Structure 1
Amino acid sequence: MPGKSTLSKALAVAFAVLTVSAIGGMISMMIVFEIQTNNLTMTELPTVPSTTLAPPPVMRLPRSLIPERYEILLHPQFYSRIVEEVNVTTPNQTLFFNGSSTVYFRCHQATKHIFLHSFELSVSPPEVIDRDNNKKLSVLSHQQHDDESDFLEIEMEENLKTNGNYSLSLSFDGEISEYLQALYVSKYTETDLDFVNDTIQERFLVATNLEPTSARRLFPCFDEPDMKAVFQLTVIHRRGTEALSNTRQQRSSSIDEEWKYTQFFPTPKMSSYLLALTISEFKFTTSPENRVTIKTYARPEAIDAGHTRYAAEITAEILKFYEEHFDLQYGMEDLAQIALPDLEPLAMENWGLITYQEGALLYEEGVSSWLHKEVITTVIAHELAHQWFGNQVTMKWWNEIWLNEGFATYMSYLAVDHAEPKFQIKEKMIMDDLHAAFEEDALLTSHPLSAPPNDVQTTGEILGMFDAISYSKGAMVLRMLAEYVKDKAFDDGIREYLKTHRGGNADQEDLWVFIQNARNKESKPTVQEFMENWTTQIGYPVVTINTISGSINQKHFLYNSSAVSNLLWKIPITYTTNISEPNDFWLGERERDGMDELISKKGEWILVNINTTGYYRVNYNVENWDRLLWQLETNPSRIPLMNRAQLVDDAFNLARAKQVDVTLALKSTRFLRSETAYLPWESAIRNLEYFILMFDRSEVYGPMQLYLRHQVEELYNFFKNQTDYSTVPDDHSLQHNQITAIEVACSNGLPDCVEMATEKFAEWMDRNDTNTIHTNLRSVIYCQAVAAGDKKEWEFAWEKFLNSTDTSEKDQLRKALSCTKKTWLLNRYLSYTLDPDKIRLMDVTSTVNHIAQNAAGQALAWNFIRAHWDYVSQGDAASLVMGVTRRFSTPFELQELIRFRDNTEMNGAYRATLQAIEQTQVNIQWVQENHDAVLEWFERETANLE
């Protein structure tokens, strides 16, 4: 699942304006408390005292009973279309389902109690059968536990016997959700009418989204990832609709004039969260001939218009790549993927039936941005990687979800590069993930990749693991490991790991064994020794090099410079200089002094962590920093592209952590005036975005805007001719940087840019249905034109948003609507997010976050989410909290955030709220300590520009 964190965020902006930055700084000790984590000590916020003396519930199922097979019958009661005819009563939509299930299980330890999961289901009295004797057993009672365990407990009159085979049958009913949970309803508009009497065009479908703990909302089950079983599903649905599930249809037949049933072949042995079902009137496109039959489903008009054609072609290419790369076939004969109008998150890897948001699968020629193909390819590559990492081999428990998500993220680099080499975006994808991980992992409220199982028990705690650590840090440490053992050993190791554990569950220790065996070396450290601290500890190190003394040491990198941490790592060091070849060595858990190879000669600079293959930051003595910055300004090509970006990122974040002077970070942006490559610009603008967030309500903002306007002018002029004529470069990296140039130039008031954007938007308004703005540039031009405009521009964009049927275009307009500087329009826009007919629930989080990114909308958004938390938190609650609080930098805002945490049901956002509190503390102190120096630097740099 490119879940609620990193992949979703990164891809949502892959073809838009800026990558909004990580936040840094030092923690202000405004509020004091104690936290102890391994070798960490910090002050912590006061917790709400417990109101009960009762012990906490047991949260894990006992292993006395292990499921082997489910037979499930589901009957969702809903209409796919509600027809209005003259003199005919219109039926109401029905949103409930009923069904029955039988689970066959083996008893591994004698017990009188059957525990399984059930949540928000009305369950009938159970029937338990001894399958060895075909005997019905007596049930004393059954009860639903009223706690976070979601246990359904059944007490038997007699013990179930060790090694006995039993079955449990239940009937149940529940509600079809309107909030994208479990089995939910989705509404869309179909403009291709099928018969004369239709007078409205609304259509409905139902779909499931069960990861991580929602299978229990669909049917009673053993809802834990290592309790794998075979699932055979039968569905009763209305005639005229098609039911899809993990496997192909085994049989289907009419029941009466209204209903039919569809039975599916049994699935492979799999975890309950991978079960999937959709019922719709969708059509499909078939991929090019392949060993596996691949069908891509979508709304009929999207199929007819060819919007699934690109996804169908690229899916076949990526699936073939993975089968060859893993030397292991995809586990089924069929693969269906479906573009859903509503889904939270961006996509879900259900085995055999992958679900996607429409924007992650549909591409409309002439409307979708060219860069949108990158989004589609990356999401498909991520989900297909899960067919091996997650579906065939699954982590034992949610504390190691990184084995699913980190691997899917890492493998997508290889798959996208293979399937679309002309994109040349592998480096961009890596840097996006590296910086997302660095941002979150520099906080004491981070978590290890492999967290202690007892720390991940409740659904909220499980949801908290779907973040940048599991996705992005997971991918980065795998990349570092592959570099250490070399690609062949890494690939051979994961192939054996997949083959050996196929159909089962594994943990990270299993993985290390296979990679170590493939490496076939006795040199130290072993894979397990190398990886242990990277996965079981929070955070990452900063490696400090002194090129005068030759000393090198490591320290846990934290934005809180006063925190005490003794955490250490085994670090693979690579380095080069401007006069010597690259070299490498190990930095163990002690600092090293007097390393002659690190002592620079006159005019020589040393650059550590070539191409950022190591998951660590690098700091230098001032003399080496000055030489590196001089190199950037005089001949930047001498430094590898990824390192040019990383030098900027390290300088800014080290300044936030009080390890270098803030003016050094600002000086690292001087070279941009003559830089045209995307990665350095992206890194600089993302980091300067933090300065904007902290200072756009102060006197610093004026000279900062002037400086940025001056720095970006040459880049804007580099693209000006193409931009003026609505054309774009062929190179994908330059296409991204063209968008960056327009965004930075317009938002900082470069007259040529503002005039260009307003004129192009005005021309569209005059012509109405004729839009000549290049599809790549629409998002940024829409935003800047709305920002410079008034009610007329906003309402034109709103009308176009409502009437557009293209998901990509709607997303670009939805973002642009948040760019207005008129607070009354932003307030109106926020109110629209409460109406799913205007803003879909799955889009509420990103819409509110877009508004909060706007200085005119931040306070409005904060008040809004607190007033409407029950509704807005149905989406990505964690992302919402982090997004809306990014500007917080005052003690008053900190106190408000603490009150919000203490008085609100967090809905999976508790960890994110702690991180927001910590980040706000960071911001308060950072602004206090750096305001004057930053103002002075920008005023000095711009003294002669006006």
Structure 2
Amino acid sequence: MKFIPAAAAILLAVSAPAWAQPAKPAAKAVSAPKPAAFPPHVALPKTVTPDRYAITIRPSADKLSFSGHEDIALTVRTATDRIVLNAADIAFQKAALSGQSAAPKVELDKEQQTAAFVFAKPLAPGRYTLSLDYTGVIYEQASGLFALDYTGEGGKKQRALFTQFENSDARRFIPSWDEPGVKAVYALTVEAPAGEMAVSNMPVASTAPSSNGLQTVRFADTPKMNSYLLFFALGDFERIHKMVGQTDVGVIVRKGKAAQAQFALDAAAEILPWYNDYFGTPYPLPKLDFIAGPGQSQFFAAMENWGAIYYFDYALLIDPKLSTEQDKQNVYVDIAHEMAHQWFGDLVTMAWWDDLWLNEGFASWMENKTTDHFHPEWKIWLQTKAGEQNAMRTDARAGTHPVITPIHDVFAAANAFDGITYEKGHSVIHMLETYVGEDVFRQGVRNYIAHHAYGNTVTDDLWTEIDKVSPKKITGIAHDFTLQAGVPLISAAKTPDAVTLTQGRFGADEASKAPRSWRTPVVVTGLGQPWRPVVSADSSAFKAAKADATPLINAGQTGYFRSRYSPELETRVVAAFPSLAGEDQLGLIYDSRALGEAGYAPLTDFLLIARKAQDAHETVVLRALIDQLTALDDLYKGLPTQAAFRAFARTRLAPAFARLGWDAKPAEADNDALARRDLLSALSQFDDPAVVAEARKRFAGLVANPDGLRGANRLTVLQIVAAHADAAAWDQLHAMAKASTESTDRSRLYRYLGAAHDPALADKALALSLTKEPPPTDAPNLISSVARVFPEKAFDFAIANRAAVEAMVEPTSRTTYFAVLANGSGNAAILPKLKAFAETVPASTRPAVTRTLSGISYRLDIIARRLPDVDRWLAANPG
């Protein structure tokens, strides 16, 4: 779902150089725990397990309700007087068990979302069929069976139905064993309007007319799979498709959208044969559909339902008028991600939510590997470093968690859908693949898939298969990076004839500086042949080197750690910046800011590197510089010295603006379009008067001629005008949002209404979110947009209107949604409000609030302790 031959080296135990010593005596580094140390899960009893669900659903889309009948073939494994399964917002009308004359008593536990069917006498071990009649709810947010309204062809108001079950919402559609470790066969039948298309995981097996204008659609049985992968959709759809080998690959859209689906279909057809080869096991289902729905979610962009992958429009469709180069790349990456899940997650599934990363981290890594294979010009591995930095920032503060993290119950599982699971997860896999080699890693993956197909696994099952085929064993390294939280810090120092590498822990706060040890694969260049030591807290590395040698740590940036150089080496490496590869320039940019903010080095080191980076022609490096400058500018919000920093930032970006300008150049690289939009947005944030004036001029032309601007240029103009809007411009944007009939465009326009820097307009946007005007899935993003400019205002508003705002958001996302509204605050007054909010939510969801609290506290520390040094440097070094 949707956040490399080794050279000889001598490993010696050496003490850290004086400049790298901690301020206080270091405690002994702690190693990663063993998986067996995890506490037991709260799960359904294992006395009864399902074998096959035969389900008949009759939806009433207009009434937002449905009725269902279910025959569950099950096995009683141990004598018991009850069958316990999951059910939420389900009302039972009838229950019966084969071989039992009396109906069972039904006991519902709404808090635990279970239904127990209790019998007068214990059931003997054996096979039975549990038959249930029930009714359920069709939601307006993406949870369970949900409805999305849209404007169809000819301006007609229409409604389509879809399902979303991960992590634990299949229980809102069918009473079931709604846990990842329980697999069964699903046979779905639907009674639906005769003129609409019904879609599920498998092809339609039969269609027959029914009464009252309905038809009965029966789908073929699925293979054994998990409840959260079941899918159903119903609507006025059309399908484009092509055969790829033995697989019928299709894209299903609302009628009239087929042309926008062609890019996705071509991408899927290109990727599928490559995945069949990479995994060594061909895709096993007869068809693979990609289904597009209007709107958006606060929780996900797409879902890997086996054979029927769901996407919101913006993540799948390409509109020639409105879509950007960034949209195109995002769609390709999202398709690669969800297709990878068809093997990692669907064919082989984690046994419990502890190992969610085994699905998501791997799919995130595979999306990049695949995209780079087919589109190297996009330089996707460089682009992924931005996401990795987000994970590192979280991982270096209180509130982080290990990649493999204990999940007590399904209600805590939503906490694992975050940057640690996705971005750190894929970074660790990339590091391990680099360490053992691509071919060895792939063979291990192939063996893992072959040995565990249609089953459940834990992470160590994957490491075991790779270790079997690899001369370099990875389980120890993998445990260090997945079973403990935190970020290693590799420090390099130079003596006249050698280079030493030592390991510590990078921490942004005191809680995150407790010593830990990781066996860290490091790649160092600049000393002759690449040097590939494995460095830990107890085993530093030493290599002979000439006096003038300049080692480059983490060359290629495939390691998950921060790099720090002694002052002498730092000077040499920064001087060499223009000649470094793009990925290593990124490493210097990201590490210099992180080290400076955390106090390991002067933050002004980043400013020196920014002066070097301003002339970079690698657009991904330019975008990284832009990102870091805008992030620092956010810290200056409300400070009198912000003007001086913005002047520095505008100067840094002037060469790029002179090269890229406002408009695309003939035959320019695809990534230039991405950099141009970031550049113009940043110059707008830095109050560049010429950029803001040009955006307003172009906006006036757009109002006069709606087709006058397209793609990225249109979005950039709208974004800048929205940020600097007065009341008249806001009203024009509002009118555009109301008039838009394109789902993705309408969502963006409503989001822009919340971006105004004028607090009075922010209040108007917040008030608008509570009306019926914005589509239900767009209203929460309107509040989120205000939060990016006025986090305190948005958070206070959401708390004051809590019931209404919670109704806008999927149940699994609510705590995270409220906490994230406050993320950008630099005001200490919000901290007690967040703590009070945390006391009102389930304990299992509080980690989201903890992460926000630690992030705000860290921002406040940077503002107080680091920005004054930057101010003094800017005063002494103008221009």
Give the TM-score taking structure 2 as reference length: 0.91
Cα contact 1:296–1:312 (8 A) shared by 2: yes
* Deviation per residue, 1:631-673 (Å, 9 max, x gap): 22xxx1x212111011111111112221112222222211133
The question of 1:740 aligning with 2:704 is answered no
Structure 1 residues 140 and 168 mapped into 2: Cα distance closer, same or farther (>3 Å)?
Answer: closer
Counterpart pick for 1:542 among 475, 489, 499: 489
CA deviation after TM superposition for structure 1 residue 113, in Å = 2.2
Amino acid at match of 1:587: V
Q: How far does the alpha carbon of each residue in 1:191-222 deviate from its partner, in whole angstroms, 9 at most, with x for none?
A: 337xxxxxxx2101111111111111112111
1:25 is matched with: none
- Matches of 1:374 and 1:836 in 2, distance apart? 33
Seen in structure 2, the aligned counterparts of structure 1 residues 94 and 815 have a Cα distance that, compared at 3 Å, is: closer
Unmatched segments (≥5 aa) in structure 1: 7-36, 41-55, 79-92, 130-134, 194-200
Which of 253, 268, 282 is equivalent to 1:329?
A: 282
Asked if the contact 2:635/2:863 (under 8 Å) is kept, the reply is yes
Residue correspondence of structure 1 range 42-441 to structure 2 within 5 A: 59-78=42-61, 93-129=62-98, 135-136=99-100, 138=102, 141-147=105-111, 149-162=112-125, 164-192=126-154, 201-287=156-242, 290-303=245-258, 306-344=259-297, 345-421=300-376, 423-441=377-395
8 A Cα contact 2:57 2:191, kept in partner: yes
Q: Give the counterpart of 1:496 among 429, 447, 468.
A: 447
| Aligned equivalent of 2:462, options 511, 514, 517 | 511
Residue 470 of structure 1: which of 398, 421, 427 is its match? 421
Instruction: Give the letter aligned to residue 570 of structure 1.
Output: R
* 1:570 Cα deviation from its structure 2 partner: 0.5
Give how far 1:185 is off.
1.2
1:729–1:735 CA contact under 8 A, matched in 2: no
Structure 2 residue aligned with 1:33: none
- How large is the Cα RMSD of the aligned pairs? 2.4
Q: CA deviation at 1:171?
A: 1.0
SS at match of 2:522: strand
Structure 2 residue aligned with 1:48:
none
8 Å contact kept, 2:684–2:692 = yes
Partner of 2:795: 862
2:506–2:513 contact (8 Å) kept in structure 1: no
Q: Which amino acid aligns with 2:114?
A: F
Aligned residue identity for 1:884: L
Q: Secondary structure at the match of 2:824?
A: coil
Identity %: 23
| 2:325–2:674 Cα contact (<8 Å) kept | no
Q: Is the 8 A contact 1:425 1:732 kept in 2?
A: no
What residue number does 2:862 align with?
Answer: 926
Q: Is the 8 A contact 1:270 1:392 kept in 2?
A: yes
Please list the CA deviations of residues 234-273 of structure 1 after superposition, one character each: whole Å capped at 9, or x if unmatched: 1111221121111111111111232221111110100001
Alpha-carbon distance between aligned partners in 2 of 1:190 and 1:881, rounded to the nearest angstrom: 33
Q: For 2:120, what is the secondary structure of its paired residue?
A: strand
* Stretches of structure 2 lacking an aligned partner (at least 5 in a row): 4-28, 33-38
- In the TM superposition, residue 226 of structure 1 has moved relative to its aligned partner by 1.2
Contact 2:431 2:559 survives alignment (8 Å): yes
Separation in 2 of the partners of 1:312 and 1:727? 29
Report how far residue 391 of structure 1 moved. Answer: 0.6
The answer to whether the 8 A contact 2:597-2:603 is kept is: yes
User: For residues 836 and 910 of structure 1, what CA distance do their matches in structure 2 show?
Assistant: 31
More relative contact order in 1 or in 2 (CA 8 Å, sep 6+)?
1
d(CA) in 2 for partners of 1:751, 1:563 = 42
Q: Distance in 1 between matches of 2:803 and 2:539?
A: 51
Query: Match for 2:835 among 887, 898, 909?
Result: 898
Is 1:532 aligned to 2:532, yes or no? no
Residues 845 and 112 of structure 1: CA distance in aligned 2, closer, same or farther (over 3 Å): same
Give, as a single letter, the amino acid of the residue that structure 1 aligns with 2:659.
F
User: Offset of 1:830 from its aligned partner?
Assistant: 2.0
1:247 alignment partner, SS class: coil
* CA positional deviation for 1:512: 0.9
Q: Secondary structure at the match of 1:797?
A: helix
Matched, 1:757 2:711: no
In the comparison of the two structures, how many residue pairs are matched? Answer: 840
Cα separation, 1, equivalents of 2:91 and 2:732: 48
Q: Does the 8 Å CA contact 1:402/1:449 hold for their aligned counterparts?
A: yes
137 and 223 in structure 1: CA distance in 2 versus 1, 3 angstrom threshold: farther
For the residue of structure 2 that corresponds to 1:307, the secondary structure is helix
- Render the CA deviation track for 1:46-68: whole Å, top value 9, x for unaligned: xxxxxxxxxx9983112111211
Partner of 2:768: 832
Contact 1:39–1:565 at 8 Å: present in 2 too? no
- My pick for the range that moved more, 646-655 or 678-687, is 678-687
Q: Describe the shift of the 1:209–1:733 C-alpha distance in structure 2 as closer, same or farther (beyond 3 A).
A: same
Q: 1:38: how far off? A: 7.6
Matched, 1:585 2:527: no
The answer (yes or no) to whether the contact 2:386–2:624 under 8 Å persists in 1 is: no
Q: Return the alpha-carbon distance in structure 2 between the equivalents of residues 168 and 450 of structure 1.
A: 36
Distance in 2 (alpha carbons) for counterparts of 1:663 and 1:704: 12
Cα separation, partners in 2 of 1:277 and 1:728, compared to 1, 3 Å: farther
Q: 1:442 aligned to 2:378?
A: no
Q: Secondary structure at the match of 2:116?
A: strand
CA distance in 2, matches of 1:890, 1:100: 54
One-letter code aligned to 2:669? D
Task: Name the structure 2 match of 1:777.
Answer: 713
**Corresponding residue for residue 456 of structure 1:** 408
Deviation at 1:878? 5.6
- CA separation in 2, counterparts of 1:627 and 1:840? 55
After superposition, the Cα gap between the structure-2 partners of 1:439 and 1:789, relative to the gap in structure 1 and judged at 3 Å, is same
- Between 1:785-794 and 1:568-577, the stretch displaced more is 785-794
Measure how far apart 1:183 and its partner are: 0.8
Q: Is the 2:792–2:822 contact (alpha carbons within 8 Å) kept by the matching residues of 1?
A: no
CA distance in structure 2 between the partners assigned to 1:409 and 1:878 by the alignment: 25
**Contact kept? 1:708, 1:744, Cα under 8 Å:** no
Secondary structure in 1 matching 2:774:
coil
Query: Equivalences for 1:574-723 in 2 at 5 Å?
Result: 574-577=523-526, 580-592=528-540, 595-597=542-544, 601-602=547-548, 604-632=549-577, 636=578, 638-720=579-661, 723=662
SS at match of 2:75: strand
Q: Which amino acid aligns with 2:475?
A: Q
The 2-side partners of 1:836 and 1:248 are apart by 38
Residues in 1 aligned to 2:361 and 2:815: alpha-carbon distance in whole angstroms: 19
What letter corresponds to residue 60 of structure 1 in structure 2?
A
> Partner of 2:600: helix, strand, or coil?
coil
Q: 1:941/1:812 Cα in 2 relative to 1: closer, same or farther (>3 Å)?
A: farther
Kept after mapping to 2: 8 A contact 1:779/1:816? no
Q: Which amino acid aligns with 1:62?
A: P
Look up the equivalent residue of 1:61 and give its one-letter code: L
Deviations 1:340-367 (A, max 9, x none): 0145321111111111101111111133
Q: Secondary structure at the match of 1:674?
A: coil
Which residue of 724, 734, 751 corresponds with 1:798?
734
Q: Secondary structure at the match of 1:891?
A: coil
User: Residue 641 of structure 1 aligns to which amino acid in structure 2?
Assistant: G
- Evaluate the alpha carbon distance shift between residue 791 and residue 281 of structure 1 in structure 2; reply closer, same or farther with a 3 A threshold: same
Instruction: Go from structure 1 to structure 2 and tell me whether the alpha carbon gap of 1:808 and 1:153 turns closer, same or farther (over 3 Å shift).
Output: closer
